[in-house]
Amino acid sequence: MKPKDEIEPVEVFAGNGWQAGMVKSILEDEEIEAFLKDEVIGALSPWYVASGGAGSVKVYVSSADYDRAMAVVKQYEKNIKEDRE
């Protein structure tokens, strides 16, 4: 059984490779360590990622940074939505 306070990686965003890279960069600018998962699959199968398939590129952060990271991700998603309108 894991201790309740154990720090582990948690997903905060999933999208295409470009989006995931942008979110990772923004998180790092906010001094939140982040890493990408599945970026090779996302690069090889971008059409699968675009349709929301399992091949999307995911951004992970430490569970200790989750709340701060989600605030950054929500702001990013809000800005993207406003740009599309």
**What stretch of H or E contains 60?**
strand 57-62
Q: Using CA atoms, how far apart are residues 59 and 82, in angstroms rounded to an integer?
A: 22
Number of structural domains the chain divides into: 1
Distances (CA, A) of 11 to 3, 52, 69, 83: 20, 16, 10, 25
| pLDDT per residue as tens digits for the range 23-59 | 999 999 999 999 998 865 545 555 544 444 555 889 9
Domain of 20: which CATH number? 3.30.70.1530
In a domain, 5, yes or no: no
pTM higher than the cut 0.85: no
| Within a domain: 2 | no
Residue 14 placed within a domain:
yes
- Across residues 52-79, what is the average pLDDT? 89
What is the domain extent for residue 77?
10-84
